[in-house]
Amino acid sequence: MSSLRVLWAGWVTHFKIVSRSPFAIGVGATWPIVNATLAYFMYQAGGSPQTLLYASLGSAVAGIWSMAALDASGAIQRQRFWGTLELLVAAPVKFALVLLPMTIAIASVGIYCLATTLVWGRLVYGIPLPLEHPLAFVLAVPATLVSVGVLGFALCMLLVRFRAASHIGNSLEYPVWLASGLLFPIAVLPAWTHPISWSLATTWGMRALLHGSLGGPVWLDLGMCALLTVVYGAIGVAILDRFLDAARRSATLSLT
Amino acid sequence: MAVIEAIKLRRTYRTTTGVLRRKPLEVEAVRGISFSVERGELFGLLGPNGAGKTTTIKMLITLLLPTSGEARVLGHDVVDDAREVRKRIGYVFGGDRGLYERLSAYDNLRYFAELYGVSGREQRTRIDEVLELVGLKGREHERVEGYSRGMRQRLHIARGILHDPEVVFLDEPTIGVDPVGARDLRRMISDLVAGGKTVLLTTHYMFEADALCDRIAVISRGEIVGAGSPAELKGRVQGGHVTEIEVFGVDDPTVDRLRGIAGVTAVTIEEREQKQVLVVQTSGEHEVTAALLAQLDGFEVGRVASREPTLEDAYVALVDE
């Protein structure tokens, strides 16, 4: 119960912090619109509303991933910069409970990407949003945000030794868009890339949203989101313990 | 039982020098210091920048692992029992950082209340109490980015005592705060001790340590060079004299020669606009003014004055040894 309270309080706090960043919100809200517009003109020749919806949802998930890649990967560095990292580590709760809601909150700001993309597509280009499985579609939104947020947590831990972590995270933005089938279906990619696609929360989040809307094996997609959340979480926590121990040994907690 | 115990605590840092050919370098920040702090005591760790004060405090609050030695807080080992230590201590440092600028003071406190296990039912009452204590009541819903330096420091203190810790570590809490704000902070620190808390304070302001601390340990180059009550430390230089000489353009070799004069225990230089003031401490057994002036032959010398030593002189003498 207490751990859940800490997670919730952390999410609320960090969601407020990120939501009050005009840059994050500005980029989060406008960049997917640009993507969606590009995709609309690319796919409109096909004339299929399903293809247009695919492009619209793909842009939204791409926006969510961009948030995680850029901001969540540098979450620890940002706390260092703000001078709050030592205070968070010195707290008597497990540090994973402090860091996890931070990266999930960053990915959650992607809700703005989703909302603006769908509204833009509907109002400007008349792209409909059918809801074949309304409940599953509604569940797919937090499932995508949380699984991508926890992927951001694992990424943050993998890049924790690099001072330019957010730049490295940024360089992963486009490859993940491609590998997750956010711009076009992964079926067109070489077969050897498919395991990479299946290991990404963005792939299953996108599929869950799409299948929730158009129909399909949405519960499998949601299950994969949940499974990957656990796997990413376990990887992140395992690295986190080593990082904290090393940081206490090498006195690198307060270095900016 | 002592509330804080440090036994032969040592900490070295590994770093490198050079760009192309990197050479490993080991820096000894804390060199086997030992001290203890009793319940309800306000203990000061006093020393110049880089003396090892912050390293010591970070080992005691579990953020750094000691290279060797032991430390316990309320009987809990800072290495093996870090979580138990963390539950029972508060940590406050000085400076602008360490707060979430885009949030209000209230939101900052609420988040840290959760991290420090203050129950949901108690949070509102406790936050109101600490806001009242640090004089931020009525301003708590403003964003921290609009706070002055003094207000931020008061918020730091509020955050540090939110969970009502038995022991509070204050690392240079008044640094960069204006004189009035610093006086308010010192009053708050006194109130903490009056309220039964044990406080370990690091500072490099002698007057602050003198005004607040029951006992002081002077730390220099990672070692404790003197310890005792402020009165005891002052006693160390009683009987001595301090000669202040205004000079212009004195160089380091000359200062070293002054240090070599029989009876001279410490020499420091204070830069005051264009001129320098040499502060020369003597044991009092020798009359050294003539010898000092002889060594300064060739330099422009202004006013020469003699006075009784202060606690600051005691500190300088200890650090200069």
Express each pLDDT in A156-168 by its tens digit. Answer: 887 766 666 677 7
| CATH code for the part of the protein at B236-320 | 3.30.70.260
Determine the distance in angstroms separating the CA of A255 from the nearest CA of chain B, rounded to an integer.
13
Nearest residue of A to residue B109 by CA position?
A: A13
Could you identify the residue written with the tokens 């919100």?
A25
Number of H helices, E strands in chain B: 11, 14
Nearest residue of A to residue B12 by CA position?
A: A250
B241-248 and B300-307 as β-strands: parallel, antiparallel, unpaired?
antiparallel
How many angstroms separate the Cα of B157 from the Cα of each of A86, B96, B130, B151, B152? 15, 13, 9, 10, 9
**A24 chain-B contacts, CB cut-off 8 A:** none
Residues B229, B73 contacting (CB under 8 angstroms) = no
What is the DSSP secondary structure assignment for residue A253, as one 8-state letter? T
Residues B91, A87 contacting (CB under 8 angstroms) = yes
Q: Do B101 and A82 touch (CB under 8 A)?
A: yes
Q: Do A87 and B64 touch (CB under 8 A)?
A: no
Residue B65: what pLDDT? 92
Q: Which of B46, B60, B58, B8 is nearest to B229 (CA)?
A: B46
Express each pLDDT in B8-20 by its tens digit. Answer: 999 998 877 777 7
Cα distance between residue B109 and residue B101, in whole Å? 12
Residue B11: what pLDDT? 92
- Residue ranges of alpha helices (H) inside A71-172 are 75-82, 85-89, 95-108, 110-125, 134-158, 165-171
Instruction: Name beta bridge partners: B90.
Output: B168
Cα distance between residue A154 and residue A165, in whole Å? 12
C-alpha dihedral (B93, B97, B102, B104), degrees to nearest 10: 20
Please indicate whether residue A8 or residue B258 has the higher confidence score (pLDDT).
A8
Q: Do B13 and A251 touch (CB under 8 A)?
A: yes
What does A146-177 look like in DSSP terms, one character per residue? HHHHHHHHHHHHHTTT-TTHHHHHHHTHHHHH
Nearest residue of A to residue B95 by CA position?
A: A83
How many angstroms separate the Cα of A38 from the Cα of each of A41, A99, A183, B44? 5, 35, 11, 64
Cα distance between residue B91 and residue A142, in whole Å? 36
Q: Where are the domains of chain B?
A: 4-230, 236-320
ipTM of the modeled complex: 0.84
Determine the distance in angstroms separating the CA of B2 from the nearest CA of chain A, rounded to an integer.
22
Decide if pLDDT at B51 tops 70. Answer: yes
Decide if pLDDT at A90 tops 70. Answer: yes
Q: What is the mean pLDDT of chain A?
A: 85
| CATH code for the part of the protein at B4-230 | 3.40.50.300
Could you identify the residue written with the tokens 């969970």?
B163
**Per-residue pLDDT band at A256 (split at 50, 70, 90):** very low
Determine the distance in angstroms separating the CA of B15 from the nearest CA of chain A, rounded to an integer.
9
Determine the distance in angstroms separating the CA of B299 from the nearest CA of chain A, rounded to an integer.
45
Express each pLDDT in B120-147 by its tens digit. Answer: 889 999 999 999 988 889 999 999 999 9
Nearest residue of B to residue A2 by CA position?
A: B117
Share of chain A above pLDDT 70, in %: 93
Q: Do B62 and A82 touch (CB under 8 A)?
A: no
Share of chain B above pLDDT 90, in %: 39
Residue B239: what pLDDT? 65
Cα distance between residue B304 and residue A166, in whole Å? 60
Stated length of chain A: 256
How many angstroms separate the Cα of B292 from the Cα of each of B156, B248, B262, B287, B313? 48, 15, 10, 10, 18
Decide if pLDDT at A255 tops 60. Answer: no
